[in-house]
Amino acid sequence: KEEEELNLKKFSSTGRIARLLAHEVKNPLTTIVLSADQLKMELPEEVLEESGDLIEVIQRNCNRINQLVTQLLESTRFSELDISNQSINELLDQALEQVKDRIEIKGFEIIKDYQDELCDIDVDSEKVKIALINLLVNAVEAMPERGGKLTLKTYIKNKQCRVEIKDNGVGIPKENLERLFEPFFTSKDSGSGLGLTNTQNIILSHGGSIRVKSEVGKGTAFLISFNLSSS
């Protein structure tokens, strides 16, 4: 419990800083974009021919920053939840359906170990599905070309509904473990580093928790808990 509270505090301060920074970056960025547009219109033809590319470099990179900032704002926002009663097994199956293509292409084995006893939770189904999909995609991306094994488990413990998503992929080095949920933390060439930030945000905003266990070369397990539905 204490650990969860600490997590929530740490997260919300990271989120606050991220939002503040993102907001502060947007204004000067808009000024740069507008100035570059203006410059393009006002510069004489000869100069444009010579250095027009540079203006495009400025515009392209500003767009890129703008995109990143927008993503950052999105992934750290606590937005309103549209709560309804859901079966975790169904949510997990629906999330799985969305990443099925990638799993089938690679020929991974999927082991489902769902507890039959009612494991219902009151959540925003669309948001929780996004969180689950992010975890599934990461698992798929971490797995080897052959012999990938994905284990999905649901069960009830201490009046909580738990979900475990386990892969036998590359694993996570110790020094990365505590940075996983940081915005933009990625070890991938073209990763956004926002998947887990977003996932953690969604789970914490439901009053749930997320933990990770991993061993390099063996695999990784993410463990999520939600309060069981009271109805």
Q: Residues of 134-164 as b/e, b for ≥16 C-beta within 10 angstroms?
A: bbbebbbebbeeeebbbbbbbeeeeebbbbb
Structure tokens at 127: 């948001």
3-state secondary structure of 104: helix
Cα–Cα distances (Å) from 14 to 11, 50, 181, in that order, read 5, 44, 10
Considering only residues 138, 168, 198, 199, which one is a binding residue for Mg ion as defined by CB under 5 A?
Answer: 138
3-state helix, strand, coil in the chain (%, to 5): 55, 20, 25
Does 195 help bind Mg ion (rule: CB under 5 A)?
Answer: yes
- Report how many residues bind Mg ion under the rule CB under 5 A: 2
Does 167 help bind ligand ADP (rule: CB under 6 A)?
Answer: yes
Does 123 help bind ligand ADP (rule: CB under 6 A)?
Answer: no
Instruction: Pick one of ligand ADP, Mg ion, none as the site partner of residue 186 (Cβ within 5 to 8 A by kind).
Output: ligand ADP
Residues 15/7, Cβ–Cβ less than 8 Å? no
Does 191 help bind ligand ADP (rule: CB under 6 A)?
Answer: yes
Min dist CB 191 to Mg ion, Å, is 6
Kindly tell me which of 75 and 138 has the beta carbon lying closer to Mg ion.
138
Min dist CB 115 to Mg ion, Å, is 27
Kindly tell me which of 40 and 179 has the beta carbon lying closer to ligand ADP.
179
Kindly tell me which of 122 and 182 has the beta carbon lying closer to ligand ADP.
182
Does 75 help bind ligand ADP (rule: CB under 6 A)?
Answer: no
| First-to-final CA distance of the chain | 23
Rounded to whole angstroms, the Cα distance separating 22 from 224 reads 29
Give the binding site for ligand ADP (CB under 6 A): 134, 138-139, 142, 167, 169-170, 172, 180, 185-188, 191-197, 220
